[in-house]
Amino acid sequence: MTDPLAALLHALAYPVVRLVSLDDALGLPWLIGGAVFVGLFAGLARLRAGRRRPRLRALVRLIFPRRVWWHPSSRLDYRLFVLNSVLVIGVIDLLIVGPDAWRAWTKAGLTLLLGAHPGSAAAGPQPWVIALSGLASLCALDAGYFLAHLAMHRWPVLWAFHKVHHSAEVMTPATEWRQHPVEFLVFPLVYGATSGTVYGVTAWLFGDAAQGQALGVQTLLMAAHLATFHHVRHSPAPLAFTGLWGKIFHSPAHHHLHHSSDPAHHDRNLGYLLSVWDWAAGTLVVPTGRERLTLGLGPGETGHRTVRAAYVAPVIEAAALVAAPLRRWAAQAAPWALKKASRRAQATGPASGL
């Protein structure tokens, strides 16, 4: 049984430990990879345009503008990063049904319905099977992210929580953790179900060892994303993938446009790594990288400027949204209940006194 004190100390140390860990998306090696990617991308873009390569000082200003990194919005992001890190590792992770559970349920269900698949007993699948299975696993995770994100934008109760993230007025990698704790439940629950289901299908078709190798392929692809443009999504550098590439991959500029306060950009570019889901759903806007955007919530929306507001205001708003139809139902049901009680009283006559 886990020592409660050790678990508490681990949770409290997690915000610092994760910054130096390769196992965490916010580890310094991945952050450095993102900065290098910005430099290479910007340099190549200038060379293709026939201009001189950018100087180091210009690149530093592009990646680390003081007005962004010390903006009041960013300072709130840093506080939420620390508090949410403790909450996620200490509480929220314990509530999530992850992909391993979905893998087991899917494989068991397929075996019960269809029996053991002959391929699952094979000595080892072909490398192309492993590669395609790993790619399918990554696509399933990405599709789950898109579905959860779509729900966050389309359902008012979930939007009450998600707009904490959209209230950011500037962005740094810490903005990734400018979220309400409810989001840290919803997203993993959805993409855990989609990716875990594909894991189960792979395990049933080709065996547990094959599924493990496919997961290794997925991990390598995700590592490539983390080491390049993952953290640039929430950064001051609007690097754009255009043309066909912009319809396949979700570039940092795609996500910058998603955070725009312009109503024309609301509910657009909901993807994570891939843009194909937005393309299919009609929610894709391929950016040029030259857009002048104001980030934040749109007209009529209230932002979040304190930790208390970020945590409490969404709960109050969501509760009001849930209560409103219940009040309407009660208002409609009350006259009907009174009429029914009146008819019952008339049918039985006055009660006799004792």
Categorize the per-residue pLDDT at 271 as very low, low, confident or very high, splitting at 50, 70 and 90. Answer: very high
Residue pair 226/28 in contact (Cβ under 8 Å)? The answer is no
Measured between alpha carbons, how far is 149 from 250 in angstroms, rounded to an integer?
14
In a domain, residue 321? The reply is: no
Q: What is the pLDDT of residue 145?
A: 97
Residue pair 175/168 in contact (Cβ under 8 Å)? The answer is yes
Domain ranges, residue 285? 4-310
Measured between alpha carbons, how far is 174 from 26 in angstroms, rounded to an integer?
8
Residue percentage of the chain with pLDDT more than 70: 88
pLDDT surpassing 80 at residue 281: yes
In a domain, residue 155? The reply is: yes
Q: What is the pLDDT of residue 162?
A: 96
Categorize the per-residue pLDDT at 261 as very low, low, confident or very high, splitting at 50, 70 and 90. Answer: very high
Measured between alpha carbons, how far is 34 from 175 in angstroms, rounded to an integer?
15
In a domain, residue 347? The reply is: no
Measured between alpha carbons, how far is 83 from 72 in angstroms, rounded to an integer?
17
Map residue 274 onto helix, strand or coil: strand
Q: What is the mean pLDDT of residues 294-302?
A: 86
Map residue 260 onto helix, strand or coil: strand
- Is the Cα torsion angle 35, 38, 41, 46 positive or negative in sign? negative
For residue 229, give the DSSP letter. T
Categorize the per-residue pLDDT at 352 as very low, low, confident or very high, splitting at 50, 70 and 90. Answer: very low
pLDDT surpassing 50 at residue 335: yes
In a domain, residue 346? The reply is: no
Which residue(s) pair with 260 in the sheet? 295
**CB count, 10 Å around CB of 285?**
16
* Least confident stretch, 131-140, 219-228, 338-347: 338-347
pLDDT surpassing 50 at residue 55: yes
pLDDT tens digits, 169-217: 999 999 999 999 999 999 999 999 999 999 999 999 998 888 999 999 9
Which residue(s) pair with 247 in the sheet? none
pTM comes to 0.87
Residue pair 272/146 in contact (Cβ under 8 Å)? The answer is yes
Identity of the residue numbered 176 = E
Q: What is the mean pLDDT of residues 115-131?
A: 74
Q: What is the pLDDT of residue 342?
A: 64
Measured between alpha carbons, how far is 197 from 105 in angstroms, rounded to an integer?
8
In a domain, residue 350? The reply is: no
Q: What is the mean pLDDT of residues 56-63?
A: 78
| Number of independent structural domains in the chain | 1
Distances (CA, A) of 231 to 77, 331, 351: 14, 50, 75
* Least confident stretch, 37-41, 136-140, 195-199, 230-234: 37-41
Measured between alpha carbons, how far is 184 from 62 in angstroms, rounded to an integer?
30
Q: What is the pLDDT of residue 1?
A: 46
* Least confident stretch, 79-88, 116-125, 198-207, 217-226: 116-125
Q: What is the pLDDT of residue 138?
A: 96
- Is the Cα torsion angle 184, 190, 195, 199 positive or negative in sign? positive
Length of the chain: 354
Measured between alpha carbons, how far is 342 from 219 in angstroms, rounded to an integer?
68
Provide the CA 224 distance to its chain's centre, in angstroms: 18
pLDDT surpassing 50 at residue 253: yes
pLDDT surpassing 80 at residue 245: yes
In a domain, residue 13? The reply is: yes
pLDDT surpassing 60 at residue 354: no
Residue pair 165/67 in contact (Cβ under 8 Å)? The answer is no
In a domain, residue 316? The reply is: no
Q: What is the mean pLDDT of residues 106-126?
A: 79
Q: What is the pLDDT of residue 22?
A: 81
In a domain, residue 342? The reply is: no
